[in-house]
Amino acid sequence: MATDILHADTVLMGGLVIDGSGRPAFRADVALRDDTIVAIGELRKISAIRIIDVTGLVIAPGFIDAHTHDDLICITQPDMTPKVSQGVTTLIVGNCGISAPPLRFQTSVSEPFNLLGQKEDFAYATFASYRQTIEKVSPRVNVAALVGHSTLRVQCVDDLGRPATAAERDHMNALLQEALNQGAIGMSSGVFYAPAQAADVEELQSLAQTVAGAGGVYTSHIRDERDGILEALREAFAVAEPTRTPLILSHHKCAGVRNWGRAVETLGLIDAARETQPVHLDCYPYTAGSTVIRPDLADGEVEILINWSTPYPDMAGRTLKSIAEGWGTTQAGAAERLMPGGASYFQMHEQDMREILKHSCCMVGSDGLPHDSLPHPRLWGTFPRVLGRYARDLNVMSLETAVHKMTGLPAATFGLSKRGAIAVGMKADITVFDANTIIDRATFEDPTQIAEGVVHVFVNGALAWTQNAVTAERNGRFVSRAGVS
Ligand SMILES: [Zn+2]
């Protein structure tokens, strides 16, 4: 038994282990062999090819970004510097109803799929071909994938302005089942967005049933995060409740000035639902959201920063208010002219965001938009910001709790086996960081700055990030739903 672990490839010596479970940090060395954690404890006598002194640093499980739109960029730009530089080792892709597979476009990429990439990037008619490409490319970080409801809908439903017919539901369910058989971790929906707006509860319930049958999860970008938020939450609960499909409410927020202070109310409703069905949340640590430019969100009350615009690329970085004034029109009118494009909406209250972030069922998800010319800084800053600003500096939660929200909690919630913990037998996805210095550097003005304090990142045992740079080795894998090979 002991001889089994006498040899290691790498030993991290002298660190403080935060193991991802939420329990208090403890001092230990950690040994890795191949892609696995093989020993934890006092390991000075172990023989290893490489010994890395991590005295004074934290050894944590690699972070799982619970909410991304990195479906295609992890293939086209596989170094994934925005994520690995934050200590992220696994991406959950396919959120908000808009997964890249299984979908191709004949003409141009319609909104909101354009958040994911260009027409030629959408090259995966089947989920299996997407999975094979991830395995072949081996991005710098692991990829676990949801299937988007809108992705299914645009292929199977003839008229997007109405709910699916029984035959169309069957078609969607067949595609969904095929993807689940290939290892998809579940389905996402985004009835907030045009392609899915006409979907009714019955349509979504029928798909959620397929997800539940496979042991997957259902994530929801709810219909309304503003005035109608309670109704929208009830709709999401109703979809998942009959089959007890694990529900994840995406980027939970109370948006719009009139709804500031309502997190108490929404979290209360969520807690009540949790008594009868599994519900989790994800959240990013900023008071601005970001999505496509939508005139209906230009309420004149919240500040809106243009991130990109196809017809007016030089307007990126300017506020909608100043653009509208310059053009002598309303903000909604200016938004209309700037489309298609993306924007950041300063629509949440800091206290609501903190309440949500610290809720026991809330995970950390960046929701970063990797193609924006001037992206919301959450793309490069989310994880160090939670650890540095919200855990260390503002004491909103302990460091152990913050790490749990980015490791053990998402691994359990999404059904990712052997990830999210520092324990013998787990995959060697490890982030070593300096708890004293870790902090985000990305800002709205300068959004692509690398965060500070992430010292080493291992992905499946390979060193992926060190000395503030990516290494030559990429070792990310496709991560299937637990129980699917
Ligand atoms: Zn969303």
| DSSP character string of 262-286 | THHHHHHHHHHHHTTS-EEEEE-S-
Answer for the pair 24, 48: CB distance below 8 angstroms, yes or no.
Answer: no
Tell me the CA distances in angstroms from 36 to 25, 324, 385, 477, one per residue in order. Answer: 21, 55, 28, 14
pTM: 0.97
Q: How far is the CA of 140 from the centre of ligand 1 (A)?
A: 24
Q: How far is the CA of 159 from the centre of ligand 1 (A)?
A: 23
Answer for the pair 25, 16: CB distance below 8 angstroms, yes or no.
Answer: yes
Q: How far is the CA of 243 from the centre of ligand 1 (A)?
A: 23
Structure tokens, 279: 């519900």
Answer for the pair 97, 196: CB distance below 8 angstroms, yes or no.
Answer: yes
Q: How far is the CA of 112 from the centre of ligand 1 (A)?
A: 10
Residue type, 167: A
Order of strands across the sheet that contains 289-292: 289-292, 341-346, 303-309
Q: How many Å apart are CA 105 and CA 44, to the nearest integer? A: 56
Structure tokens, 379: 């793309």
Residue type, 7: H
Answer for the pair 91, 73: CB distance below 8 angstroms, yes or no.
Answer: no
Q: How far is the CA of 341 from the centre of ligand 1 (A)?
A: 16
Q: Which residues lie across from 190 on neighbouring strands?
A: 221
Q: How many Å apart are CA 411 and CA 220, to the nearest integer? A: 18
Check residue 1 and give its pLDDT: 43
Q: How far is the CA of 38 from the centre of ligand 1 (A)?
A: 38
Residue with tokens 């660190």: 15
Residue with tokens 């490890």: 430
Under DSSP, the state recorded for 115 is G
Q: How far is the CA of 131 from the centre of ligand 1 (A)?
A: 23
Q: How far is the CA of 291 from the centre of ligand 1 (A)?
A: 8
Q: How far is the CA of 188 from the centre of ligand 1 (A)?
A: 9
Q: How far is the CA of 475 from the centre of ligand 1 (A)?
A: 28
Which helix (H) or strand (E) segment is 194 a member of?
Answer: none
Residues 6+ apart with CB under 8 A from 273: 233, 237, 241, 279
Going residue by residue through the chain, which has 485 residues, state the pLDDT in tens, using 9 for 90 and above.
444 557 999 999 999 999 999 999 999 999 999 999 999 999 999 999 999 999 999 999 999 999 999 999 999 999 999 999 999 999 999 999 999 999 999 999 999 999 999 999 999 999 999 999 999 999 999 999 999 999 999 999 999 999 999 999 999 999 999 999 999 999 999 999 999 999 999 999 999 999 999 999 999 999 999 999 999 999 999 999 999 999 999 999 999 999 999 999 999 999 999 999 999 999 999 999 999 999 999 989 999 999 999 999 999 999 999 999 999 999 999 999 999 999 999 999 999 999 999 999 999 999 999 998 899 999 999 999 999 999 999 999 999 999 999 999 999 999 999 999 999 999 999 999 999 999 999 999 999 999 999 999 999 999 999 999 999 999 999 999 988 98
Q: How many Å apart are CA 149 and CA 240, to the nearest integer? A: 14
Rounded to 5°, angle at Cα 398 from 424 and 250: 85
Residues 6+ apart with CB under 8 A from 376: 286, 288, 289, 290, 307, 344, 368, 369, 444, 447
Q: How far is the CA of 189 from the centre of ligand 1 (A)?
A: 9
Structure tokens, 154: 């645009």
